[in-house]
């Protein structure tokens, strides 16, 4: 509702990785039935929220702070608050996509957390949901950004607290995740230019 419904991308997963085959076509209409969310268990509900959290981190401090003021249980119980947060996320994504439909420059920011997240998701082969893998990817990509001097430790800690404390998402590699296997999926990422990982 807040991610693949907006932006016109169609993607097919293969054994080699996520979304490696696809195209971009703008839809004529997007219909969202939020009543469907009542059918989700907590794990799947959290899974979908990761894309909204991502939008708060990359594009909208007000959205990020609104997410900090609430938590998973409150959003499950308060459909009006959930709708406002979802709407804000979709509006932000639409602005980015309208500025860069074919992902030449700005739209690439929507991949935040997904390069590492997709590699983890492919490696786990269904054991982790998309949002669960992206939550780990968000942390790891922020840590990488800090390592090269692009973001502060204070901000990373704030994002990790939001993911872990407010939304009960794991952001660390599990003991069974093999970093070498994940690296193998990174080099097959659709966003790469030749051998260079983006």
Q: Say whether pLDDT at 121 is over 60.
A: yes
**pLDDT band at residue 193 using 50, 70 and 90 as cut-offs:** low
Q: At what angle do helices 42-59 and 79-99 cross, to 10 degrees?
A: 50
What average pLDDT does this structure show over 4-9? 85
Is the Cβ–Cβ distance between 182 and 119 less than 8 Å?
Answer: yes
Q: Say whether pLDDT at 122 is over 60.
A: yes
Asked whether residue 93 is assigned to any structural domain, the reply reads yes
Tens of pLDDT, residue by residue over 152-171, are: 999 999 999 999 999 999 99
Asked whether residue 196 is assigned to any structural domain, the reply reads no
Asked whether residue 103 is assigned to any structural domain, the reply reads yes
Q: Say whether pLDDT at 189 is over 70.
A: no
Higher pLDDT: 119 or 184? It is 119
The single residue listed with the structure tokens 């800090």 is: 146
**pLDDT band at residue 50 using 50, 70 and 90 as cut-offs:** very high
Query: What CA–CA distance (Å, rounded) separates 177 from 121?
Result: 11
Asked whether residue 40 is assigned to any structural domain, the reply reads yes
Tens of pLDDT, residue by residue over 28-49, are: 888 888 889 999 999 999 999 9
Asked whether residue 4 is assigned to any structural domain, the reply reads no
Tens of pLDDT, residue by residue over 128-148, are: 999 999 999 999 999 999 999
What are the C-alpha distances in Å from 169 to residues 27, 32, 46, 71, 159? 32, 25, 8, 11, 11
Asked whether residue 100 is assigned to any structural domain, the reply reads yes
**Structural domain harbouring 165:** 9-186
The single residue listed with the structure tokens 């308060």 is: 78
What is the pLDDT at residue 188?
60
What is the pLDDT at residue 131?
97
Asked whether residue 195 is assigned to any structural domain, the reply reads no
With b meaning 16 or more CB within 10 Å and e meaning fewer, what string describes 152-167? eeeebebbbebbeebb
CATH at residue 23? 1.20.1090.10
Q: Say whether pLDDT at 79 is over 80.
A: yes
The predicted model scores a pTM of: 0.88
What is the pLDDT at residue 88?
96
Query: What CA–CA distance (Å, rounded) separates 17 from 23?
Result: 16
Domains identified in the chain, total number: 1
Helices and strands (DSSP H and E) totals, the chain: 8, 2
What is the pLDDT at residue 176?
65
DSSP 168: -
What is the pLDDT at residue 32?
85
């Amino acid at each position: 509702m807040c991610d693949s419904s907006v932006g016109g991308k169609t993607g097919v997963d293969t054994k080699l990785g996520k979304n490696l085959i696809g195209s971009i076509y703008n839809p004529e209409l997007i219909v969202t039935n939020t009543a469907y969310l009542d059918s989700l268990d907590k794990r799947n509900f959290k899974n979908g929220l990761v894309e909204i959290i991502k939008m708060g981190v990359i594009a909208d401090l007000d959205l990020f702070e609104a997410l900090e003021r609430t938590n998973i249980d409150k959003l499950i119980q308060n459909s009006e608050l959930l709708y406002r947060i979802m709407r804000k996320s979709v509006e932000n994504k639409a602005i980015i996509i309208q500025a860069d439909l074919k992902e030449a420059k700005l739209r690439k920011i929507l991949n935040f957390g997904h390069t590492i997240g997709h590699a983890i998701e492919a490696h786990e082969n269904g054991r982790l949901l998309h949002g669960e893998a992206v939550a780990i990817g968000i942390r790891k990509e922020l840590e990488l950004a800090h390592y090269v001097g692009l973001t502060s430790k204070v901000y990373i800690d704030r994002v990790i607290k939001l993911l872990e404390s407010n939304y009960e998402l794991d952001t660390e590699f599990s003991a069974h995740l093999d970093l070498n296997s994940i690296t193998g999926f990174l080099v097959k990422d659709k966003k790469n230019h030749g051998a260079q990982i983006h």
